[in-house]
Structure 1
Amino acid sequence: MPMKELINEIISSKKKDKNRVEFIKIKWAKRHGRPIPLNSEILAVASKSEIKQLASALMTKPTRTLSGVSVVAVMTKPAGCVGRCTYCPTAENAPKSYTGHEPSTMRAIRNNYDEYKIVQNRLTQLHNVGHSTDKSEVIVQGGTFTWMPWDYQYEFIKNIFDAFNQHGCCAKNKPCRKHKAKTLLDSQKINETAQNRIISIIIETRPDYCGEKEIKQLLELGATRVELGLQSTYDKVLKKIKRGHNLKQTKDAIRKLRDAGFKVDLHMMLGLPGSTKQSDIKMFKILFEDEDLKPDGLKIYPCGVIKGSELYNDWKKGKFKPKDDKYIMEVLKEVKTRYIPPYCRIKRIMRDIPGNLVEAGYKSLNLRQMLLNQIELEGKKCHCIRCREVGQQYKFFGKLPKKIELCVLKYKANGGEEYFISFEDKRHGILLGFARLRLCKDSAFLRELHVYGQMIPIGSDDSSEFGIQHKGLGKKLLAKAEEITKQNRKNELFVLSGVGVRNYYRKLGYKKKDYYMIKKL
């Protein structure tokens, strides 16, 4: 079979860089009188063992799994929104705040907002370009999820678990609805040992829809991280944009989430009505000096003018002047190099809204890369998690860790003590993995455990330059967290584990109780 011949040639080649692989493909195509095959076509006929050997050579968009997991975004159906924010666009056949032209929204529209089909489609896409999906992070997008009816939330998440559990179970990478679980709990149990496991579920919502009732429901759904839309630390700005909540409500939500073991990220916006350059910069100083905030992660968006929003009408009337790229770059450069602590990860700097739909304001869609280049040129550094991840450092600067140290950073947040425990090459600014430990008055939570590097499939012993998962770092981080917990006279450690990683904790002496993995120390 000619394609198998090509696969063998690529595998046996000593060099597997992009240029060498293209050369082999061209020679093969000429020899057989065929068009040059796409990488996805080669991977589609490769065996499981061959895919492992081909992945590094044929994988497209490797950045998608540099942080150690595959990401699957799932959009909820258009259902209105409890908010009336002036900057949010309203579009036909898209959830509030989306235009219908974002990649995730278009995927949802193609699949008629059927979450099962969306997941199946996305998993197939990832497989076709060489990405492993046995460890995936699910992001639920599309408005205020916890505001939606509970029956919808329950079925939505259950269908996502079913899609992961059943993907490829009858034919290679083909959807299958056989053996459908009766309940969400059943589907979660199946996912603990499934081929495609969900190791994290991220829910986007509002601070005023994140009380004790909603948090208990999030625990039942299997969520592990919550992204709260704060947008500004100034109540006068929140009132001006008709956000519908104040800063205190956000602080209350963060405390409740952290005390339940969740990871908490915040969405922030630059250039909102009533903001200045000084106030935007100070906003991030407040975020990390105020003990009632201190988020684990950030998504930072510049405020642009989009048709279908109230802000668009204000702009047309001359009541609002949006900030340009220069403003955004200057603010972000100051923020990233002065105020972001090493325990925070800046996850995004732009939204997925296409540039042609931004009527006024920012124009560049690659602001993050422009910003990083500028910071590098000026000899400055950002200390956020993403900028220090081993995979990012290798990809962009060719750096590999040399002297690795176990580090512990302690800080107060939301009435508790937080410990950011990490393995780092401090001299070269490289982060290999970390754990987040929270000590409350009566309990201790491991809120996060993550080892960075190119994603390694479960059971693999990858030895590439930065394929560093499964090298024992996670166990050492966990052991340090347990040690600190015991030193502080806590006799139990609770872990809000993703469903797909529960067995990892079981092997280390943890048992499931209610929504947590627990170990007596």
Structure 2
Amino acid sequence: MKNEYYPFSHIICHHFYNQGGCSFCGYHSQKRTVSESPISVDQMIEHFDLFANKFFKNIKRADKLIIAPNGSWFTEIPKRLRHHIYKFINQNYISHLKYESRASLFIPEKARQELKIMYLATTDKNINVLTDKACDELTMALEEICSNHIVSFGLEVAYDTDLNRLNKRCCLDDYIKASRYVHGKGAQVCANILIAPHRIKDPVYKAFITARFGAEEMKAEEFLIMPCGPMKGTPSYDDWIKARWNPVSSTAASEIFRIIREQYPNIKIKYQDSMRIFSKHGRHGKFKRKPGRWSKKEKQKVRAKVRKISENVF
């Protein structure tokens, strides 16, 4: 089954090989064993079918299937599995399929550079041949986008300097071009907004700026808003452990979400806090506030501060 993986046999996000990938993402260390002992595409399809059968009623009720690969749909999900999922969607009349991609994959010269870096890190044979083949496969994969697809882009924070700090290796122009491509195929765009990632100054202000960029420049139909939390094995986790970064509080994050939702009523906005990262806030003695339940007065003060900042954006 080895040829089934060609040319994307690594499974881990290809950006992982580019100086460790995004500085806040810990999925790479969690999934490394998968890359060392990859399963066959037949096994992947079998796993998907088991999942789809078990949760079929939920999928039909939601009328949407969301796939969250460790990386990008077009490079980390094998072609045969992608087409198997397309068939499932169409045969069962599911209105939307949602998946993720790096915006740089829509920029040929950047995609080529990223894929070449991956091959340089994983093999010492036929680098240029492998890269050429991968780019050809990617070009064909991008043509698979159609009107019932929703493509999510990890915008995170709408400042090029901050994207560099997070090792995203994308620029804002990449997100604009990628969104235009997706819309040109009749599909929808989802902008992922990361609230208060580590090493970012003025995080609340920048969360609102990022939402505005997603709405006005990317023309996104959906937002996924996520507070950034420390994930083990990442630079962000090291910053948290060493008390160099205090994750955003639950109160501030929820107020940011509320204001963005109020500002953009026509955009479908989801707020994701499934990791329950808010318990991390204020853990270290170096931070001003000790952990514990917040009083109503404290919460009101934080919300008022967030609203004040939003007035400088909207």
Could you tell me the TM-score, scaled by structure 2's length? 0.63
Against the structure 1 CA distance between its residues 359 and 215, is the aligned structure 2 distance closer, same or farther, given a 3 Å change threshold? farther
Change (3 A) 1:78 1:362: farther
SS at match of 2:169: coil
Q: Which has the higher helix share?
A: 2
Instruction: Please list every run of 5 or more consecutive structure 1 residues that lacks an aligned counterpart in the other structure.
Output: 1-75, 101-110, 165-190, 364-373, 375-521
1:336 equivalent in alignment to 2:232: no
How large is the RMSD of aligned CA atoms in angstroms?
3.8
2:68 paired residue number: 141
Q: Is the 8 A contact 1:137 1:199 kept in 2?
A: yes
State the one-letter code of the partner of 1:218. Answer: L
Task: Check if 1:126 corresponds to 2:52.
Answer: no
Deviation for aligned residue 1:297? 0.5
1:230 aligns with 2:152: no
Measured after TM superposition, the shift of residue 321 of structure 1 is 2.2
Larger radius of gyration: 1
Task: Give, in angstroms, the shift of residue 82 of structure 1.
Answer: 0.8
1:138 Cα offset (Å): 3.0
- Three-state SS of the structure 1 residue aligned to 2:84 is helix
Provide closer, same or farther for how the CA distance between residues 77 and 341 of structure 1 changes in structure 2, counting only shifts above 3 A: farther
CA drift at 1:87: 0.8
Change (3 A) 1:147 1:260: closer
Match of 1:218 among 142, 146, 165: 142
SS at match of 1:141: coil
TM-score by length of 1: 0.40
Alpha-carbon displacement from aligned partner over 1:363-393 (angstroms, at most 9, x marks no partner)? 9xxxxxxxxxx9xxxxxxxxxxxxxxxxxxx
The offset of 1:211, in angstroms, is 4.0
Cα deviation per residue 1:117-172 (whole Å; 9 max; x = unaligned)? Answer: 33322333235xx55749953323223325627xx63111133356x4xxxxxxxx
Pick the aligned partner of 2:178 from 253, 257, 269.
253
**C-alpha distance in 2 between matches for 1:304 and 1:86:** 12
The answer to whether structure 1 residue 320 and structure 2 residue 245 are counterparts is yes
Instruction: State the 4+ residue runs in structure 1 displaced beyond 6 angstroms.
Output: none
Higher strand share: 1
Amino acid at match of 1:210: F
In 2, Cα distance between equivalents of 1:352 and 1:95: 23
Whether the aligned pair in 1 keeps the contact of 2:158 and 2:210 (CA below 8 Å) is yes
Q: 1:112: how far off?
A: 10
Q: 1:270 to 1:295 in 2, by over 3 A?
A: same
Q: 2:211 aligns with which of 277, 284, 289?
A: 284
Report deviation, 1:203.
2.5
Q: Indicate the residue corresponding to 2:272 in structure 1.
A: 350
* Residue type of the alignment partner of 2:271: I
Q: Indicate the SS of the match to 1:306.
A: coil
State the secondary structure of the residue aligned to 2:226.
Answer: strand
Question: 1:179-220 deviations in whole A, cap 9, x for unaligned?
Answer: xxxxxxxxxxxx75x4x3444332201110124774652333
Quick check: 1:88–1:309 contact (8 Å CA) kept in 2?
yes
CA gap of 1:294–1:94, structure 2 versus 1, over 3 A, is same
Structure 2 residue matching 1:254: 3-state secondary structure: helix
| Secondary structure, counterpart of 1:155 in structure 2 | helix
Q: Which has the higher contact order (CA 8 A, sep 6+)?
A: 2
- Letter aligned with residue 102 of structure 2: R
1:86 equivalenced with 2:86 (yes/no): no
- Name structure 2 gaps, 5 residues minimum: 1-8, 35-39, 109-135, 284-299, 301-314
Flag the 1:80–1:135 CA change in 2: closer, same or farther, 3 A.
closer
Matching residue's letter, 2:44:
E
Quickly say closer, same or farther: Cα 1:159–1:139, change in 2 above 3 A: same
Instruction: Rate the CA distance shift 1:257–1:198 in 2: closer, same or farther, 3 A.
Output: same
Paired residues in the alignment total: 237
